């Protein structure tokens, strides 16, 4: 019997209108090679399952202490010792108050396809489809490729949201299978990119150029983080995108305003949020940056 290919996700979301055209189903893959200091989904970063500890939900019943085989839950304050916890999920199963939650689920291609096909009529009527994001879907390239292929065989429009980091031999396979690429560009300066994301952007920019040369529909997305990648970086990004437009008219650029909606998640995972004092941006504040992109001749998406 042929072994079913599996991947690990941390969420699915139906009826989205923000990540690709029409109404879409979003699939969030777990695992990411970047550590962006503004990341709003820290539960997506590590590839393995994790326990989220929402202390404000805790009612102090103590069930989590009783069921934990590793004695990783403090019986006095019910806090998790991350060094002992192996994310078996027993505490989450016993917690009806949902203070302890398991994030990270192993799924097969078939299981995800079954989720997607339920809304085929909605996709068809709205011009929507399925978008695979994360985390970073390119950390699970074979699984994502097979899922996109299965969707395409059922005439479901597919998109991938990616940072573009990885070896081109793996990246190209996934890009080729997707109908649309939503490609994040964080910082054009390599030193700043490494400082704010933990990795170099050399392969990212090379992969962006190769993707554009393929003629695919690509929407470059820039998360605008005040004091990090605004200002001159927007002009540098615009010049880069404008150059790619010359060989591919389907290349566009979109700006995403910074928000801190994921701030509490860091506490729930026992981590520090490095932009704790930074206030969210309103979309209207992006106007001056869009003007820069327009002056450079970029095809912009609002």
Distance CA 15, CA 9 (A): 18
Residue-range domains of the chain with CATH: 6-42+107-260+278-301 (3.20.20.70), 50-103 (3.30.70.20)
Distance CA 163, CA 97 (A): 36
Distance CA 156, CA 27 (A): 14
pLDDT at 148: 98
Contacts of 300 (CB under 8 A, 6+ apart): 252, 253, 254, 255, 290, 293, 294
Q: What are phi and psi of 37, to 5 degrees?
A: -70, -15
β-partners of residue 160 are: 132, 181
Distance CA 92, CA 216 (A): 42
Q: What is the CA radius of gyration of the chain?
A: 20
For residue 19, pLDDT beyond 50: yes
For residue 3, pLDDT beyond 80: no
For residue 2, pLDDT beyond 60: no
Query: Residues 230-262: pLDDT tens digits?
Result: 999 999 999 999 999 999 999 999 999 999 999
pLDDT at 1: 44
Distance CA 242, CA 11 (A): 34
- What's the mean pLDDT in 216-220? 96
And the tokens for 107?
């799924």
Contacts of 207 (CB under 8 A, 6+ apart): 164, 165, 166, 168, 171
Percent of the chain whose pLDDT exceeds 70: 99
Query: Residues 286-302: pLDDT tens digits?
Result: 999 999 999 999 999 99
């Amino acid at each position: 019997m042929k072994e079913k290919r599996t991947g690990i996700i941390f969420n699915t979301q139906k009826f989205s209108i923000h990540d690709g055209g029409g109404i879409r189903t979003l699939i969030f893959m777990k695992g990411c090679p970047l550590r962006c200091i503004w990341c709003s989904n820290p539960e997506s970063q590590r590839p393995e399952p994790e326990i989220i500890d929402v202390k404000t939900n805790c009612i102090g019943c103590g069930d989590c202490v009783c069921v934990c085989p590793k004695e990783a839950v403090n019986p006095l304050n019910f806090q998790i010792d991350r060094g002992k916890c192996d994310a078996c999920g027993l505490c989450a199963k016993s917690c009806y108050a949902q203070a302890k939650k398991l994030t990270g689920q192993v799924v097969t291609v078939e299981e995800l396809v079954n989720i997607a096909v339920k809304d085929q009529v909605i996709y068809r009527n709205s011009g929507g489809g399925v978008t695979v994001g994360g985390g970073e879907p390119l950390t699970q390239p074979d699984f994502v490729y097979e899922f996109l292929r299965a969707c395409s065989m059922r005439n479901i429009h597919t998109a991938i949201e990616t940072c573009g980091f990885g070896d081109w031999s793996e990246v190209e396979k996934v890009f080729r299978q997707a109908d649309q690429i939503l490609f994040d560009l964080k910082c054009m300066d390599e030193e700043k990119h490494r400082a704010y994301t933990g990795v170099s952007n050399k392969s990212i920019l090379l992969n962006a150029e190769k993707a554009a040369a393929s003629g695919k529909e690509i929407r470059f997305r820039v998360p605008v983080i005040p004091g990090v990648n605004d200002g001159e970086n927007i002009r540098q990004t615009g010049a880069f995108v404008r150059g790619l437009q010359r060989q591919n008219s389907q290349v566009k650029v979109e700006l995403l305003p910074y928000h801190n909606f994921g701030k509490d998640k860091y506490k729930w995972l026992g981590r520090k949020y490095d932009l704790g004092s930074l206030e969210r941006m309103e979309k209207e504040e992006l106007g001056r940056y869009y003007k820069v992109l327009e002056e450079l001749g970029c095809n912009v998406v609002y």
